[in-house]
Chains A and B, each alone.
Chain A
Amino acid sequence: MDEIIAAENLRKTYDNLTAVDGISFVVRKGEVFGFLGPNGAGKTTTMKMIACVSPRTSGVLRVFGQDPAQQPAEIKHRLGVVPQETNLDPDFTSFGNLVTYSGYFDIPAHTAEKKADELLEFVQLQEKRNVEVEKLSGGMKRRLILARALVNSPDLLILDEPTIGLDPQARHLIWEKLKTLQAQGNTIVLTTHYLDEAARLCDRLVIMDHGKILVEGSPSDLVKQHVGEEIVEVEKSAEVLACLTERSIPHEMTGDTVQIATDSSREIVKILLESCQPKKMLTRPATLEDVFLKLTGRTLRE
């Protein structure tokens, strides 16, 4: 079976707030699939519905071909979940957390203990094996949660902001581990606010806003399709603005710079240099961040 998750017109309302507003998507076996979107877009809500902890309001949802409303225990047996909010058990050590959690999957104690040590090594926390989780740093807790999500050797990983609050080293470690897991045939669904991370990890992703999916595709396709190859950034000045408007070159203002998305930066740069008296100017490749900001706007979400 190729389709690990299939959602059609999936909706979730809390009282009178629509958190997820009729989204449809398919996640295939072995894929890393990303959910991006501003705060409150509905990413966590979607993760929770897939993870069978929050019932959907309407629409179709199948995980491993099964319905979360009908067979939650069967589905959850094969899931590994990293929640957005850290919820390790403060009454146990790192090792104790993994073993206790294994118990919830009916994994026999000796198997669980062996696996726990392997996983602590996998996330490089062997030294903290017998430390109470209260005494771990935020990043260590995040890594332990990833280890915890793996105790049952899941077929599908659901990671809600797995690298939040991690230092660059730890983020790279997690990326590496996720790549390893993908290579082993795992399917991974993740949300993140780090767009470089999404671009690096995801085979395909969706950008959500206000509970709806705005676009779907591979990171590079989305960049090409919605922004172009490159961005020229010029310091904002009346001359530059007038000059661009006059030649009807599409541009966008952000703070004190003007951004021009283009497929041929040389041409734009030439025009600017010749007739607009630019002050500072630079050319850079377009990124997922440009797509994100273009589609979801630059205003802060409440």
Chain B
Amino acid sequence: MLHLFSVPTISRRAGRVWYRNLVVFFRTWKVNFFPPFIDALLYLFAIGMGIGTYIKEVDDVPYINFIAPAILAISVMNSAFFECTYGSYVRMYYQKSFDAMIATPLSIEDVIAGELLWGATRSVMYVAIMLPVLVAFGVISLPLSLLALPLAFLGGLMFAGIGMCITAITPSIDSLNYPMFLFITPMMFFSGTFFPLALLPAAFQYIAVAVLPLTHIVAIMRMFTLPALSWTILLHIAWIAAVTMIFCVMSINLMKKRLIV
């Protein structure tokens, strides 16, 4: 059990893996740049303006401004999680990219670290493309909302780590659907995203804060975009940092166990 948490040695070469993914990303940039745009518009129109017509305000905030940070937070979650589950699994299992990489001076630790960093980078990119749309609609405030970018990196790294742990133990690509439907999708709704946590029964509120990672990203994001900073941001950051650390370390060790035989 202990080896799951042994701290891996990672070299600068992890950056090479990250860079490889970046190059592929820009080779297919047309496919990669539009979803964030469409996504942002879709949420704003369907939920913000559709539902927003009936719900004018939540906690004295216009409904559309209330959900804008949630849209960003959900994107952080989805892009990193998707990248480090389906994306990494395809590279590992179908493309045998990791096998090719570890035949070079790269170690498996470097490879997985590079993949995790890349997952976090995808979150940052997604948010970076969404931000101007939200700014144009006047639903988030500047300049504090720019802090969404570093937050996207931290939150992205957390979901990259969680996703990579799942990738390391999944028996097949189809099994990746389970965490998607049992973990990611419910979290989209019950993390203080489209309605305040306070509306949930007290027990559920505790659960949301204790175990749902998205809750903490939404909370910080909302402090940035409204803006409404509070000292509790430190608690949220500490929670995310700890969970990120645990899952990233664990994912590297699990992957090593899976691939180095």
Listed in ascending order, the chain A residues whose CB lies under 8 Å from chain B are 14, 51, 53-55, 72-74, 76-77, 79, 81, 83, 85, 87-92, 100-101, 103-106, 152
Is the pair B97, A73 in contact by a Cβ cutoff of 8 Å? Answer: no
Is the pair A104, B24 in contact by a Cβ cutoff of 8 Å? Answer: no
Shortest CB-to-CB span from A238 to chain B, Å, is 53
Question: Do most interface residues of chain A lie in helix, strand or loop, or is the interface mixed?
Answer: loop
Is the pair A104, B97 in contact by a Cβ cutoff of 8 Å? Answer: no
Is the pair B107, A73 in contact by a Cβ cutoff of 8 Å? Answer: yes
Q: Of B95, B99, B105, which contacts A105 at CB under 8 A?
A: B105
Q: Of A51, A87, A90, A103, which contacts B20 at CB under 8 A?
A: A103
Is the pair B99, A104 in contact by a Cβ cutoff of 8 Å? Answer: no
Q: Point out the residues of chain A lying under 8 angstroms from B23, CB to CB.
A: 100
Closest to A99 in B: B23
Is the pair B107, A85 in contact by a Cβ cutoff of 8 Å? Answer: no
Q: Point out the residues of chain B lying under 8 angstroms from A87, CB to CB.
A: 95-97, 99-100
Closest to B101 in A: A104
Closest to A90 in B: B95
Q: Of A73, A91, A152, which contacts B27 at CB under 8 A?
A: A91
Does B230 count as interface, using CB distance less than 8 angstroms?
no
25 residue pairs A–B, Cβ–Cβ below 8 Å: A14-B261, A53-B103, A55-B260, A76-B104, A77-B105, A81-B103, A83-B99, A85-B96, A85-B99, A87-B95, A89-B97, A89-B100, A91-B24, A91-B95, A92-B24, A101-B100, A101-B104, A103-B19, A103-B20, A104-B16, A104-B104, A104-B105, A105-B104, A105-B105, A152-B104
Q: Point out the residues of chain A lying under 8 angstroms from B106, CB to CB.
A: 104
For the complex of A and B, the 10 pairs showing the least CB-CB separation, nearest first, are A87-B96, A104-B104, A87-B100, A73-B105, A81-B103, A91-B24, A76-B105, A77-B105, A103-B16, A53-B102
Q: Point out the residues of chain A lying under 8 angstroms from B100, CB to CB.
A: 83, 87-89, 101
How many A-B pairs fall under 8 Å by CB?
Answer: 60
Q: Point out the residues of chain A lying under 8 angstroms from B99, CB to CB.
A: 53, 83, 85, 87
Q: Point out the residues of chain A lying under 8 angstroms from B20, CB to CB.
A: 89, 100, 103
Shortest CB-to-CB span from A71 to chain B, Å, is 11
Q: Point out the residues of chain B lying under 8 angstroms from A14, CB to CB.
A: 261
A241 to B143 Cα, complex, angstroms: 96
Besides A81-B103, A87-B99, A104-B104, 5 other A-B contacts (C-beta < 8 A): A53-B99, A76-B103, A79-B103, A91-B24, A91-B27
Q: Point out the residues of chain A lying under 8 angstroms from B103, CB to CB.
A: 51, 53, 76, 79, 81, 83
Shortest CB-to-CB span from B106 to chain A, Å, is 5
User: Which B residues between 182 and 222 are near A, CB-CB below 8 angstroms?
Assistant: none
Contact-residue size bin, chain B (C-beta under 8 Å from the other chain): 20 to 34
Q: Of A51, A72, A77, A92, which contacts B107 at CB under 8 A?
A: A72
A104/B95 contact (C-beta < 8 A), A14-B261, A53-B103 known: no
Shortest CB-to-CB span from B78 to chain A, Å, is 22
Closest to B103 in A: A81
Does B175 count as interface, using CB distance less than 8 angstroms?
no
Closest to A77 in B: B105
Does B236 count as interface, using CB distance less than 8 angstroms?
no
Is the pair B16, A54 in contact by a Cβ cutoff of 8 Å? Answer: no
A123 to B5 Cα, complex, angstroms: 45
A140 to B96 Cα, complex, angstroms: 18
Q: Point out the residues of chain A lying under 8 angstroms from B261, CB to CB.
A: 14, 54
A87 to B97 Cα, complex, angstroms: 7
Does B11 count as interface, using CB distance less than 8 angstroms?
yes
Closest to B28 in A: A91
A76 to B19 Cα, complex, angstroms: 20
Is the pair A73, B96 in contact by a Cβ cutoff of 8 Å? Answer: no
A54 to B102 Cα, complex, angstroms: 10
Closest to B20 in A: A100
Q: Point out the residues of chain A lying under 8 angstroms from B19, CB to CB.
A: 103
Shortest CB-to-CB span from B133 to chain A, Å, is 28
User: Which B residues between 1 and 38 are near A, CB-CB below 8 angstroms?
Assistant: 11, 13, 16, 19-20, 23-24, 27
A89 to B90 Cα, complex, angstroms: 12
Shortest CB-to-CB span from A95 to chain B, Å, is 13
Is the pair A106, B95 in contact by a Cβ cutoff of 8 Å? Answer: no
Q: Point out the residues of chain B lying under 8 angstroms from A73, CB to CB.
A: 11, 105, 107
Q: Point out the residues of chain B lying under 8 angstroms from A85, CB to CB.
A: 96, 99
Closest to A79 in B: B103
Q: Point out the residues of chain A lying under 8 angstroms from B105, CB to CB.
A: 72-74, 76-77, 104-106
Closest to A149 in B: B103
A54 to B96 Cα, complex, angstroms: 15
